[in-house]
Structure formats: structure tokens, C-alpha cells
Amino acid sequence: MPFSKKIAAFDLDGTLTESKQPLHTDMAQLLARLTTLTKVVVISGASYTQFQKQFIPFLPSRIDIMKENLILMPTTGSQCYEYDAESNQWKMTDGEFFPANVKNKALVALKEIVESNQYEIPSRQWGERIEDRETQVTLSALGQEAPIIEKRVWDPDRKKRQKIKEKLEACLPEVTILIGETTSIDIVPKGFNKAVGLKRLIKRLNYQQDDLIFVSNGIFPGSNDYSVFEAGFETVRVVGPQETATIIKNWLL
């Protein structure tokens, strides 16, 4: 049966790539082929800067047609980037920003969490631990550059991050707090999540909710992907990039 959706949306880390790892050549080619059938959206808690490191440089060299049908939605979908052929650049076309005082309060709260030594956050860190991503503030408990093996063993059942989330919710009622991939917690403007970002996108494109399918490895209660399932979008849960690749191949038949 031919692929019938107008948008195929994917999480990034754990779905298209391993956490913070470069997009594999085979996956890049599959996405390029998929853009000949439908629009492809990559929506992630990652910053746009991380997309520039991990995703964009590894797209196929002949991507002009691909870019027309590829949309990037960093920071839990609170930003939207589309390719502008005239300037040969990715440009932000939508964004949901914090009031400045709210963002500052969130940054202070995360610093207090880390310095409290109450949440099993290790003293060793790899790269930045607290990031201001403009439309999102993120805690990466081990640091942004932590090895995958360290990330996987720190909080596999998400209990450590759930405790941090509960503490943050008590002191930051003016934001939304979501558990991200492996070691992260994402703080976004109140009421925002991936479902809201995707709804804004399909409204701008004049599509319907049934026109979109979402693929992710992180569809569980409290995650930054679960909102898409709760909102009634068609969702597919995968265990990693290899399963995602198999799904895309089946769509391309």
C-alpha cells in the first residue's frame, strides 16, 4: 500500500541517530528518498546548533529537492527552520519564546538542582550541563558530550529525572518541564510541547492532523514525545535507528 501521509515526522536522538551521534549515511539516504514522497519533519529537544553538528552536515550532497520537503524543529518544536533556496540557508520561520524573567528563573533553578547534590548527578561532567537554547532551557545531567554508555546507565528507568522534574514543577509553575533523551530535562514555555509545535506546523501548511505520522523511541508518559501520542496523532514507537530505517524502507516500497 503506497505511503499516504503528507508529513512523516521523526524524533532525532534514539530514533534517527544514536544520542548526539552524527546522522549515518544510510539513514540520510533513506530520508532523502522519503522527501520525494512526502514532507519530512525532524523534531527534537536538541538545539539548532546541535542540528548543525549532528544532522545537517551529513545530508546528501545533492539535497536541493530534499530541502524543499525537509523541516527542522529544534527545542521540542518551539523553533521551526525551513530552507531558503535563494540565500542557501536554513531560516527560522516560527518560534515560541520565554519571557526573559522566566528563562532566568529556570536557569537559576537548574543551577541550584545541580549544586544541591541531592539528585545523584555525578561530579564529573562532559561538556555543558545547563544550556540556554533560546526557546528552551535544558539540563543534561552528565554534560552534552557524555559518552553514550555513560548516558545509558545513569538513569535508564528515568526515576532520577522524575525527582528533578517534580522539584522543578514545584518552583517553576510558569513553564512546562519534560523528560528528554537518556539524561536530559527540557524546560519550555508554559503549555508548549512537541504536539503543540506539530499542530502549529500543520495549521501553517493547511494540513490536517491525520496527514501526519510520528516516529520516536521516546513515547512514554512524562517524555517530550508523549504529548504527540496524547494529542491523537498517529505514532509509531521504535527501539532505535535500525527499526526506524526498516520502517522507512517499507514506506518506500
Q: Specify the higher pLDDT residue, 60 or 8.
A: 8
Residue with cell 561532567: 125
Q: How far is CA 5 from CA 38, 62, 107, 208, 240, in A?
A: 7, 24, 39, 10, 22
Q: How far is CA 121 from CA 125, 139, 218, in A?
A: 9, 11, 22
H/E stretch holding 154 = helix 148-154
Q: Does the pLDDT of residue 66 top 80, yes or no? A: no
CB atoms within 10 A of CB 104: 13
Entry pTM: 0.90
Kindly report the average pLDDT of the chain as a whole number: 93
H/E stretch holding 137 = strand 137-140
Phi-psi region of 242 (alpha: psi -120 to 50; beta: other; left: phi over 0): alpha
Q: What is the pLDDT of residues 181-221, one digit of tens each?
A: 789 999 999 999 999 999 999 999 999 999 999 999 988 88
- Give me the domains of the chain, ranges plus CATH numbers: 7-96+192-252 (3.40.50.1000), 100-189 (3.30.1240.20)
Q: Nearest to residue 158, comparing CAs of 241, 237, 225?
A: 225
The predicted model gives 165-179 an average pLDDT of 95
Dihedral sign, CA of 240, 149, 110, 159? positive
The predicted model gives 222-245 an average pLDDT of 94
Q: What's the chain's length in residues?
A: 253
Look at strands 7-10 and 212-216 and give their pairing. Answer: parallel
Confidence (pLDDT) at 1: 59
